[in-house]
Amino acid sequence: MDLDATQATPPAGIDLAAAARLQLSFDQAPVGLLCLDLDGRIARANERACQLLELDQAALLGRHYADCLAAGDAALRAALPQGQAANVVLRHQRRDGTPCWNELLVSPVPGADGRTSHYLGFLSDVTALKEKEQRLAFQASHDELTGLPNRALFQQRLERAMAQTAAHGGAMALLCIGVDNYALVNESLGRAAGDALLAAVAARLQLCMGEHDTVARLGDNAFLAILGRLAGGADVAPRCQAIFAALAPPLAFEQQQLHASASIGVALYPQDGADGATLTRYADLALSRARAEGGGQCLFFSAEMNQRTLERIGMEAALRLAVAGDELQLLYQPLADLQTGDLCSLEALVRWQHPQQGLLAADRFIPVAEAAGLTEAIGQWVLRRACRDLRAWRDAGQRAIPVAINISPRQFHDRGLVDAVAAALAGHGLGAGALTLEITEAALLRDAAAGSACLERLRALGVGLTLDDFGTGSSSLSNLKRFPFDALKIDRSFIRDVATDAGDAALSKTIISMAHNLGIKVVAEGVETEAQCDFLRRNMCDQIQGYLFAAPLPREQLDALLAEPRRLPPHLLRIQKQKRSLLLVDDEQNIVAALKRLLRRDDYQIYTANSGQEGLDLLAQHAVDVIVSDQRMPGMIGADFLRKAKLLYPETIRIMLSGYTELQSVTDAVNEGAIYKFLTKPWEDELLRGHIAEAFRMKEIADDNERLNLEVRTANHELASTNRRMEELLKQKQQQIHRDEISLSIARELLQHLPLPVIGMDDDGMIAFINGAAGALFHGGGALLGNEASCVLPQLFPAGGAAPDGAGHSHRAEIDGQCYAVVVYPMGESSASRGSLITLSRCGVAP
């Protein structure tokens, strides 16, 4: 068959015009068209086919299709000799080097004898479709943001890496890499910054991977990495350090510098686990431990981590049963007032009687409860149980002692907290003053606006409010001033060494002074020694809580304590006069004994020590007025001892009694104020007694001044507390007035637009209000407001001109030829309003 039919002499009867049109349609078809002879050679190609193959007619005609179509395709080569159709997609490169795909549909064309005479090929560009398919396939197995393998693809590679390790020996490590500061970046700078941080981390992790390694994105801020072909576990630590080094440089983002802070958990194959799921879980456990220990480090999985996790899971399950089964317990720890010494309050402390571990304190199970979302349920249980016990004490005739309960951050931000507290108090017949809620500053800072609104509602309810654990978080004066707390608690970490550590002492004094200036009471937690209590009472602390006064007790034992009653000893009260106390410090026993004999007649409370350190220990245990110390002692010379005594106990009077002739250190101590007097050995008895007596008189004058100062400060504190309460009351009144004004405005506007005529009168019958409908009805009556109603609107009143008495009194009146029902409502039955309200409603045409 001659395929170039348009150039041959047409047979008789052929329509040349039709043949020309057919040729034109072939050449200008929007799809590529090819004519192939039986051998697969190209006999004709249209313009579109030339464009797709990037070859001209001269280069195509006569060539085998396999030379032009990327060496052809097996399906196409098999189909043509058999005279069959074929459909293939062929990939080749354009002249610019980019790949492209063409779909070729080849169909046999039969001749007049019914046998295949040639083939017609349809060629179309499917590059866009194939690229889309590739993108979809990539997205199905890779993370869109970072381009890293996703979990599904990673699991396949993990299984392959384990199989290769098992076959070739050695070890393989699975790394779980967490970006610790991702949430901070995301929340502070926005999602775009968080995405930029993750993309940068992914790119840097890829640079750390070797030929046999894989890194994938696990979740929002975590990555998984396979380190393959390792000789052993020792190879992992250097690789982790290389990762930390790669992540260290800052990343620029919109004029901000982002830093990636990461932690790494490591699990080894085959040592730690024989399957991918176990290895992944163990690496994640190691990451959690690394973060719990501060982050920024690499930790290897250990069996102890898994054991802890299993124990935690078991504890959580048992805790859920304990909460549901009402198996928790409440202990109550008494608080003592440092001014009176009396028990003044109780704190309810939740405990759990664990079936295997015994009675557990809150710090053992509350973290588990927080992770399991059980803190709200535990908080509700504590609230109900405390109110039930308070009711029982009231019914038993015990004096009304308020109880404090701790409110967790999650419970504090529960919108139903205020209603739950009100319901618990009402359900047990208790006044709001019976309960105090202790709230940590961390709970307030989570959402300051919502926290402030919740505290205002609790304050309006009337319960007490205490700021708990002050000093451990983001404690600030602005928070004390902003929020309406009655008291704050100094955390026990500051009280532990308050009698011996100058820093803790200074911080505690500052907190007490700051709170008192704002009219807030101060409670010290964890008071266990008299030295701690003495420091606190001298520095105006209001209340103490701790084992010095009483341990946490179950309700049954507390009943006996309430019946005692228990009090602090007089010498630990805030304002009191004590017996004179003297401390003698000398390393020579005979000197100490001689001084004791000499000074016993003066009725002093005498303490003795044989070294400077012993003297400091005694000062920490007892209140001392005057110190007499030798200079030359082993371990610590007298001047240094007295310097430390001045620093820790500046109210003491310090005397040096020494025969040591080198005076430089003594002179320095005198000039620094560490020594009040320097006396020499041997001494004259009466002269020494006189000097010590004078020292006591100076101390007593200072004590009297301090007592006066304490009394003034107490009065100022009470005045500040009163002022704070007055300010809160004034604020509440102003808020109520504002609400009343809004309500009044709404009522006036409602009455103004009411289609029913309404007139308001005061006690004297003067018109105080007239709405729009009434004004329109009496528009011809002149000015009405401020005039006596019976004079300007006589038609509204029965004969005699007096306003009718009694609620809902009604009569009829004629106005402009219309009959109106006039109803008078005296005001004041259910409010403080006075006067009358008159309404008019049409009831027909007047006769």
DSSP H or E segment with residue 313 = helix 303-324
Mean pLDDT confidence for 395-404: 87
Give me the pLDDT at residue 79, please: 67
Q: What percent of the chain has pLDDT over 90?
A: 16
pLDDT above 80 (res 445): no
pLDDT above 50 (res 6): no
299-308: long-range pairs with CB below 8 Å, 24+: 299/263, 299/264, 299/265, 299/266, 300/233, 300/236, 300/266, 300/267, 300/268, 301/265, 301/266, 301/267, 301/268, 301/272, 306/282
Lowest-pLDDT range of 387-391, 432-436, 792-796: 792-796
Mean pLDDT confidence for 225-248: 88
Give me the pLDDT at residue 13, please: 53
Q: What whole-number distance in Å separates Cα of residue 765 and Cα of residue 759?
A: 11
Give me the pLDDT at residue 426, please: 93
Give me the pLDDT at residue 656, please: 87
| Token pair of 581 as six digits | 């106390």
For 167, counting Cβ atoms within 10 Å of its Cβ (0-12 exposed, 13-18 middle, 19+ buried), the class is: exposed
Give me the pLDDT at residue 502, please: 84
Mean pLDDT confidence for 698-710: 77
Taking the CA atoms of 279, 281, 287 and 289 in sequence, report the sign of the dihedral they define: negative
CA angle 627, 628, 634 (to 5 degrees): 110
pLDDT greater at residue 118 or residue 204: 204
Lowest-pLDDT range of 45-49, 55-59, 334-338: 55-59
Place of tokens 């704070």: 724
pLDDT above 50 (res 806): no
| Token pair of 107 as six digits | 């169909």
At residue 329, what are phi and psi to the nearest 5 degrees?
Answer: -130, 155
Lowest-pLDDT range of 66-75, 280-289, 580-589, 754-763: 66-75
What are 160-192's pLDDT values in tens digits?
Answer: 989 988 888 888 899 999 888 888 887 778 888
Q: Which residues contact 487 (CB under 8 A, 6 or more apart)?
A: 436, 464, 465, 466, 467, 520, 521, 522, 523, 542, 543
Give me the pLDDT at residue 1, please: 40
- 8 A C-beta contact, residue 484 and residue 459: yes
| Token pair of 409 as six digits | 């951050």
Mean pLDDT confidence for 662-680: 75
pLDDT above 70 (res 84): yes
Give me the pLDDT at residue 8, please: 44
Q: How confident is the model at residue 4 (pLDDT cuts 50, 70, 90)?
A: very low
- 8 A C-beta contact, residue 524 and residue 489: yes
Mean pLDDT confidence for 672-699: 86
CA angle 161, 165, 167 (to 5 degrees): 115
Q: How confident is the model at residue 544 (pLDDT cuts 50, 70, 90)?
A: very high
Q: How confident is the model at residue 611 (pLDDT cuts 50, 70, 90)?
A: very high
Give me the pLDDT at residue 661, please: 56
pLDDT above 80 (res 684): yes
Q: How confident is the model at residue 117 (pLDDT cuts 50, 70, 90)?
A: confident
**Could you give all domains of the chain from N- to C-terminal order, each with its CATH number?**
5-132 (3.30.450.20), 142-301 (3.30.70.270), 358-572 (3.20.20.450), 581-708 (3.40.50.2300), 754-845 (3.30.450.20)
Give me the pLDDT at residue 810, please: 78
Give me the pLDDT at residue 337, please: 93
What are 263-320's pLDDT values in tens digits?
Answer: 998 888 888 888 888 888 888 888 888 887 888 888 888 767 656 666 666 677 777 8
Cα–chain center distance at 427 = 32
Q: What percent of the chain has pLDDT over 70?
A: 89
- 8 A C-beta contact, residue 387 and residue 435: yes
Give me the pLDDT at residue 423, please: 93
Place of tokens 């409860």: 369
What are 127-162's pLDDT values in tens digits?
Answer: 888 878 777 777 667 787 888 888 888 888 899 989
End-to-end CA distance of the chain: 117
pLDDT greater at residue 360 or residue 636: 636
Give me the pLDDT at residue 477, please: 60
Give me the pLDDT at residue 345, please: 93
CB atoms within 10 A of CB 39: 9
Q: What whole-number distance in Å separates Cα of residue 276 and Cα of residue 158?
A: 7
Mean pLDDT confidence for 20-31: 76
What are 710-739's pLDDT values in tens digits?
Answer: 667 767 767 777 777 777 777 777 877 887
Q: Which residues contact 194 (CB under 8 A, 6 or more apart)?
A: 182, 185, 186
Q: How confident is the model at residue 844 (pLDDT cuts 50, 70, 90)?
A: low
